[in-house]
Structure 1
Amino acid sequence: MAEVLSDSLDLEALRSFVAVARLGTLAAAAEQRHRTVSALSMQIKRLEARLDTTLLIRGARGVTPTPNGEALLGEARELLRRHDGLVARISGRGLSGQVRFGMPEDYASRLVGRLLPDFLARHPDVVLEAVTAPSGELARRLERGELSLIVALDRPHRLSGGEPLWRSTPVWAGARELVLTADQPLPLALHPEDCPYRQLGVEALGAIDRPWHAVFTSTSIHAVETAVESGLAVSILERDRLTPAMRELGEAEGLPVLRGCEAQLHYGRQVSAASWPAVEALGELVKRQLGQRQ
């Protein structure tokens, strides 16, 4: 007779716990897991009894993990990832499903150049759809269920529950030979309204009552950079995107200090159960390769 360890954890209960913690409500997790709310609640209670701790705080707006729940969440995700990988390798069945991934264009070269090809090489049966858009648009598309996961800055449309990846370093950028005059409105090259850096710059200029006008507006980061290099306008760029034809501007030119943003990983709440393992696998790859980047 096979020995059953009394302190072993139920993997399906762990899957339900991860789903509840991610989605924020028992009802949403039960729908994704194809279980009743009562059955899923019982799984969580048994898991709490097994670990002799409270994992979730239940409130009027849903549930949130306790400190012990947060600790288990990270470990559970890694355990399930390793378990599912083992099963896939031994059985010959890899991950499948559809993953719709959104990212800002500024970071697309890092993601498309190495991370996404690596992901597809590991999981060739996954249908991947990757799109670029400003962070504000990505956040709204995630909320509408159009995307499975996104990397986005925490402005201008804030989402709760994101996993931090890195801090951005926005700077004022101008052509190397650019000369600014304080008595004229600042000429700017900007992205549309959904861009976090546009919001940062406009707010900073408003705080010091510095007049400005948009000389050039484009969704393309490369077009904005060309406008800066040519001396047409000043813009707000990530510091590591400055080219030899640009220089960082600041207080000497009468420009205010810019606050940074946080790049975060967000998962959608309408991902199907069949696609969720692939979505989480891409999320884990993003965190390993891009998390805490300096």
Structure 2
Amino acid sequence: MSEVVASALDLESLRSFMAVAQLGTLAAAAEQRHRTVSAISMQIKRLEERLGTRLLIRSARGMTLTPAGESLMREARALLSQHDRLLARFTGQGLSGRVRFGMPEDFARELVGQILPEFMAQHPDVLLEAVTATSGELARRLERGELTLALLLDRAHRLEGGQPLWRTSPVWAAAREYVLDPTQPLPLGLHPVDCPYRAIGVEALEAEERAWYAVFTSTSVHALETAVEAGLAISVLDRERLTPAMRELGPADGLPALTGGETQLHISKRMSAASKPAVDALAALLHERLYQRGLWRERGAR
């Protein structure tokens, strides 16, 4: 009886496939993987040949997954995670300790979907505790020692000593068919008072003595986006969050220009010595992935 040898999948090709699937472009994946675009393209081609199916197709929005690609992405994530955990455990290269990480809710989708799983796969013995809150609340928790690391916007509650990552682009957002009535107070959809975007919008309106009222308040950016799309309210969102159902307003519409801010990474000075290497490792990964790119550029949008 002849021996049947199963074809093996190349793990580095799987990692490149995952990067393209998550970031949306070959160029973004090549930058993250420290390879050329042609090398990433060749890895994807060989992976498709090995599996005998098309995994990615080029579209107006970049590279998108085929149904087979969607299925492989789910399986590959679990496979690579298990591989990295096994390697870290047997080589003794994994870190330990606890990382208590805070982020604004606006950032959760990209961080929880991409960067945090990558960190946990590399360091399976680290206890990660991630929370979302407004930047002001996160800053206070950091000062109290309740967090060891946080991504913060530099408004509402400023902290010294942060590492700058990227500039924000706040804009007035309204439903595409929304018509402003200059004789009426502006109906706003807002985060709570600790939100930097709320502060940016309110300060700009009050500087011009423009009347406004909060028609809708929520801690959820997705709820605010829904309120804007439905025409219930105007809100201050990052330009990258505008959907096809929205349009940007500005001085031509009678609204004041908005000033951008900065997203910074803050590391607490109050942590155990055992946890510091793990905190520094996550901070380094966040800096590598996000410096001068931001979250939306990290996933290949716009």
What TM-score comes out, normalization by structure 1 length?
Answer: 0.69
Aligned ranges 1:57-76 → 2 under 5 Å? none
Q: Deviations over 1:86-112 (max 9, x none)?
A: xx8996252000000000111111111
Alpha-carbon distance in structure 2 between the residues aligned to 1:213 and 1:91: 59
Q: Does 1:157 find its partner at 2:157? A: yes
Matched residues, percent identical? Answer: 69
- Structure 1 runs (4+) deviating above 4 angstroms are 88-91
Give 2:132's aligned residue: 132
Q: Deviations over 1:251-293 (max 9, x none)?
A: 1221000000100000011110000000000000000001111
Give 2:273's aligned residue: 273
Give 1:172's aligned residue: 172
SS at match of 1:202: helix
Alpha-carbon distance in structure 2 between the residues aligned to 1:218 and 1:91: 46
SS at match of 1:210: coil
Task: Give the AA of the match of 2:243.
Answer: T
Alpha-carbon distance in structure 1 between the residues aligned to 2:218 and 2:98: 30
Q: Does 1:148 find its partner at 2:180? A: no
Give 1:260's aligned residue: 260
Task: Give the AA of the match of 2:223.
Answer: A
Give 1:15's aligned residue: none
Give 2:208's aligned residue: 208
Give the superposition deviation at 1:169: 0.2
Alpha-carbon distance in structure 1 between the residues aligned to 2:252 and 2:94: 57
Give 2:73's aligned residue: none
Q: Deviations over 1:219-243 (max 9, x none)?
A: 0100000000000000000001000
What TM-score comes out, normalization by structure 2 length?
Answer: 0.67
Alpha-carbon distance in structure 1 between the residues aligned to 2:195 and 2:136: 6
Alpha-carbon distance in structure 2 between the residues aligned to 1:89 and 1:287: 25
Aligned ranges 1:75-90 → 2 under 5 Å? none
SS at match of 2:214: strand
Q: Does 1:241 find its partner at 2:211? A: no
Alpha-carbon distance in structure 1 between the residues aligned to 2:105 and 2:258: 20
Question: What 5-or-longer segments of structure 1 have no aligned partner?
Answer: 1-87
Alpha-carbon distance in structure 2 between the residues aligned to 1:239 and 1:212: 21
Task: Give the AA of the match of 2:210.
Answer: R
Alpha-carbon distance in structure 2 between the residues aligned to 1:96 and 1:204: 46
How much is the aligned-residue C-alpha RMSD, in angstroms?
1.3
Alpha-carbon distance in structure 1 between the residues aligned to 2:291 and 2:237: 20
Aligned length: 207
Give the superposition deviation at 1:204: 0.1
Give 2:38's aligned residue: none
Alpha-carbon distance in structure 1 between the residues aligned to 2:187 and 2:97: 47
Give 2:119's aligned residue: 119
Question: What 5-or-longer segments of structure 2 have no aligned partner?
Answer: 1-87, 295-302
Q: Deviations over 1:138-168 (max 9, x none)?
A: 0000000000100010111000000000000
Alpha-carbon distance in structure 1 between the residues aligned to 2:103 and 2:92: 31
SS at match of 1:228: helix
Aligned ranges 1:19-34 → 2 under 5 Å? none
SS at match of 2:99: strand
Alpha-carbon distance in structure 1 between the residues aligned to 2:90 and 2:142: 34
Give 1:109's aligned residue: 109
Give 2:222's aligned residue: 222
Give 2:290's aligned residue: 290
Give the superposition deviation at 1:198: 0.3
Alpha-carbon distance in structure 1 between the residues aligned to 2:257 and 2:246: 18
Task: Give the AA of the match of 2:182.
Answer: A
Alpha-carbon distance in structure 2 between the residues aligned to 1:130 and 1:89: 23
Task: Give the AA of the match of 2:183.
Answer: D
Task: Give the AA of the match of 2:261.
Answer: C
